Amino acid sequence: MKSVGVIGTGSWGTALALLLAHKGITCTLWARRPELASEVNRKRENVRYLPGFKFPGALHATADIHEAATGKDVILFVVPSHGLREVARETAEALRRKGVLPKAVVSATKGIENETLLTMTDVLEEILPEGLSGRIAALSGPSFAREVCAAIPTAVTLAASDQRLCTSLQELFSNDTVRIYTSLDLIGVQLGGALKNVMAIASGISDGMGFGTNTRAALITRGLAEMARLGVRLGANPLTFAGLAGLGDLVLTCTGDLSRNRQVGLKLGRGEALDTILGGMNMVAEGIRTSRAAHFLARKYGVEMPIAAQVFKVLYQGHDPKDAVRELLARPPRREFGDLLGA
């Protein structure tokens, strides 16, 4: 695999493109806006979303989806979840026009489509040419973009339905400081990567309200239980949630100051309005949309997710965080390890 099209110029898409390009792999980084692609190429750096990391010669940007997607060994999608379907349609059109498919497609987007409640790989399976069925993977785990680019040791999970594909992509993304583990649990790895953002908002709210590390630890632990309950109900392996794509990413996002979702929660806990918070952000906090998807998935499949439910109420129904805390603590007492689908 010698050429990769990276669809999305946010911080994570740029970080992955840099990782690959520094290995000598030819990377084309796609930007929706031509002016951003031009700026990135001129400055040899993504000043807007990931400043401080110069582009090697193997990496260049384009606003032409045909140039980014066609003739590539791998296509890597790293766009916000709400925009994936539209971009996938444009990519599919380009691939059909060219008539040559990549060896693999990877989603590094962490979210759930609100309208359909589909995972990102399910959306790609639905939209991309049929010849790519079974060749779509997901990359997830505890990985702040800036730390990956700074060569800080990182470990993440690559999931696909085929072990040979996993192994091939494992080699592609691995380097001296990034360690890739493989998994065949495509649904579990994606749910872990999406739902942890909801719990990070809850953790941020708690910290913003002035609660301590006791409370944060409880939210992380019980949040993990909620993630696993929904995952198992949807067919995931419960062990996945004890791994990098589950607990690993959850701890990172709930405690790390680089987490956009935690920052949203912190500001909500301090009394700021959501509209004001969003107005001051130039990148997407996926947990806001995912909280809605989690709410409707839990309701659809009859799974209790009390923390996720309170985050949904705070974000979408104007619920006061103080009332959310009171309602969580006032719930009837339960056994910690009861029925897996219990609360």
Hey, which residues are catalytic here?
A: 196
Phi and psi torsions of 4, nearest 5°: -135, 135
With vertex at residue 88, the alpha carbon angle to CA 83 and CA 91, rounded to the nearest 5 degrees, is 130
According to the 3-state scheme, what is the secondary structure of 275-336? HHHHHCCCCCCHHHHHHHHHHHHHHHHCCCCHHHHHHHHHHHCCCCHHHHHHHHHCCCCCCC
**What beta strand segments (E) does 186-230 contain?**
none
Of 58, 65, 55, 74, nearest to 30 by C-alpha is 65
Residue of 156, 145, 149, 15 lying closest to 76 (CA atoms): 15
Four-CA torsion 338, 341, 342, 343, nearest 10 degrees: 110
- Give buried/exposed letters for 102-127 (b at 16+ CB in 10 A, else e): bebbbbbbbbbbeeebbbbbbbbbeb
Strand 154-159 relative to strand 26-30, pairing: unpaired
How far apart (Å, rounded) are the C-alpha atoms in residues 287 and 196? 8
Q: Please report, as a single letter, which amino acid is at residue 315.
A: L
| Main-chain dihedrals φ then ψ at residue 76, nearest 5 degrees | -115, 115
